[in-house]
Structure 1
C-alpha cells in the first residue's frame, strides 16, 4: 500500500514575523560583504557570499525518464525528454582561498535548458532555463530568517574566530547557540547548532561522490517534495581519486574533478522524495531530515556528463559569470518555506551586484553551447 502523499496547498507555509525587514538586513550585509570581497578575497573580483569558490563548470545532459509513477511525474518531469545542462561544483564557504581553509560543505548547482513555461523570477519570466541549488547534506543549519541574521554574521566572520584556535572555536559555538547572546536560554538554537556540527563533519570526498539535496522543500506539481542528486552507483564505483587530502596541496577538489572527467563519462540520478507526513517531514524546519522509511527517493531523471576537458582558466571564468538560483523554476516546482522564500531576493540581488562589480554581462544563456562548447578528450589507454 503506497503512503498517502500530502497534497500541495499554499497553507503548508507560514509567514515569519518581521520577514521582510529581516530579509532587507540580510541583503544589506550580503551586499557589503560582496563589495568588500573585491579587495578582501585576493582574487581581484567580487565573489559570491556563499559558494564563492567554484571547482569547475561541467557540460551535461538531463534525461527525464519515461514510465515514472504518476505522483512523481509532475511538472517538468511529466514530459520525458532530454535537456542540455551545465553544472557548477563549488565549496559552500563565502571565501575563495585554499581548500583546507574552506570547510566541508560542497555544492552542485544545475542549470537545464529549453524548459517550457514561465519562471518565478519576475524580471525573467520568459527564461528558458531551470535551476537547482543543492548541497552535500540533507539538512540546513538554519530555520528562520531571524536566526539566519546572526548565523550569516558568524559565517562571514568565521575565519577570525577560528584563527584564535580552541578559544575562538568555543566562542564561535557559544555565539551560534545563543544568537550572540541575544536569545533566551529556552530559545537557544540547539537544532540548528547540532545540524551545523553534522554538516561540518561531512567526509572530504571527490565532489562526484557526494549526494546533494535541495535542503528545503519544493512544490512538486500536486505534491510537496525534496529533490536530491545522487551519484549513479556504477559510475561512483569507477572514481579513482576518492578521498580528498586537503593538507596535500592548496587545490585538491578541482584537480581531482578535472582528472576524472578527462578519463571517463559520469552520471547522477535526480531523485524525488514526496512528503507523506507534515509532522515528521516538516516544510519550515530545515534541520529535520525527512525519513526515507516513510517515503523513499524515486529516480525521475538522469544527469549525464560526457567525458570532457574542463581544465583551464577559461572554464573558471565562464563558470563565474553564470547565475544560479532556486527560484529560476516553474510554478509547479516553487521553493517552499521561510528560508527558501528569503533566498529569492537575496540571490537575485547578490547576482546583480556581483555582475556589476565584475563588469560581467548578466543574461541567462539560451544554449549550453553558448557557455561551454563540448571539448571532448582523447583517452590515452
Structure 2
C-alpha cells in the first residue's frame, strides 16, 4: 500500500513539473489527438509502402502527410517565433510573401517562357534570388515596425493586401507557369530511393541551423531581452530596432524556404490560393507552443512541435470529412481551448493543483 502511494506521489510530482513547463501543452495536445484517432479509427496510424506517380516507392499514410505538410509550417514557425518574441506582434503577410517568393522562383527558372522545355537557370540560383527578394520584403516590414514603431499586424497588412497582386505581376499574370524539369519536384515531394518526404529533411536542416544559432550566438538572448523590455535592453547596450528588424529578415528567409517547397509540390503556382491562411496556422503554432504573443521569452522547440500539432489537427479534420468551409471554425474552437490552457496563469494553477494532491497523499500515507 505504501509502495502504491509512493508511486502515485511520484507520478503526481512528475505531472506537476510537466504542467509547469512550456512544452507541456503541445505534448498534451498531441497525445489527445493521438488518443482520439486511436479510439475512433486506429487505421489513422497505418503507414504503408506505395508507388507514387513518378514510379518510386514511398511511405504513405496520414502520419506521413502530417510529417510532410507540417514541416513547411514548422519552418515558418521558426521565423514567426522570433518576430513575436522581439516585436510583441505577428506578421500576417507570410502567405502573400510565399506567393511572391514562389513566383520569383518560377520566373527565374522559366524566364520569359511560361512552359520552357529546359530550365533557364539552376534551381539553386532561383532559390537564392527568392531568398534575397523575401528577405527584402521582410526588411520592408521590419523597417515599418522597428523604424516607424508601427504595430506589426498593421505594418504587415500592407504586404498581406498587395502581395498576391505583386506575385501575379512578377510573372505577367500568366497562368499556369509550369516547370517541366522532374528534379524540381524533389523539394516538395520525394527524392528517388528515399521514401520519406523531402520537406521533412529541409525542416530538419532549418531546425538544426536555428538550434546552433541560438546556442552559439546571443540571438535568442537579445531577442528575448528586447521583447521583455526594449528600453532596458537599450540601456544595456542593445539596439532594439535592429533586433526587431533582424527577426523580420530571418522570417523572410523562412518564407523563401517554404515557397520553394510549395511551388515544387505542383511545379506551378496559383497566386490567389498558394499558402492561403498559412500565416494563421504559423501564429497558432507559436501560441500553442506556449509563447507569449506579447513578446519576450520563447521556446523554439515548443513552437516547432506546435506546428506539427496544428497539422495533426488539420489532417484529422480532413480525415473525418469536415468541409473545407467549416475547417477554420472547428480548428478555431480546438485551438482556443488549447491556447487558453497554455496560458501561464492556467499552467501555474495546474502545477499548484498537482503539488497539493502530492502533499495530501503524503500526509495520508
TM bin (shorter chain): under 0.3
The normalised TM-score by structure 2 is 0.27
Bigger helix share: 2
TM-score, length of structure 1 as denominator length:
0.26
**Structure exhibiting the larger radius of gyration computed from Cα positions:** 2
Query: Which structure is higher in RCO with an 8 Å CA cutoff and minimum separation 6?
Result: 2
Structure in which a larger fraction of residues adopt strand: 1
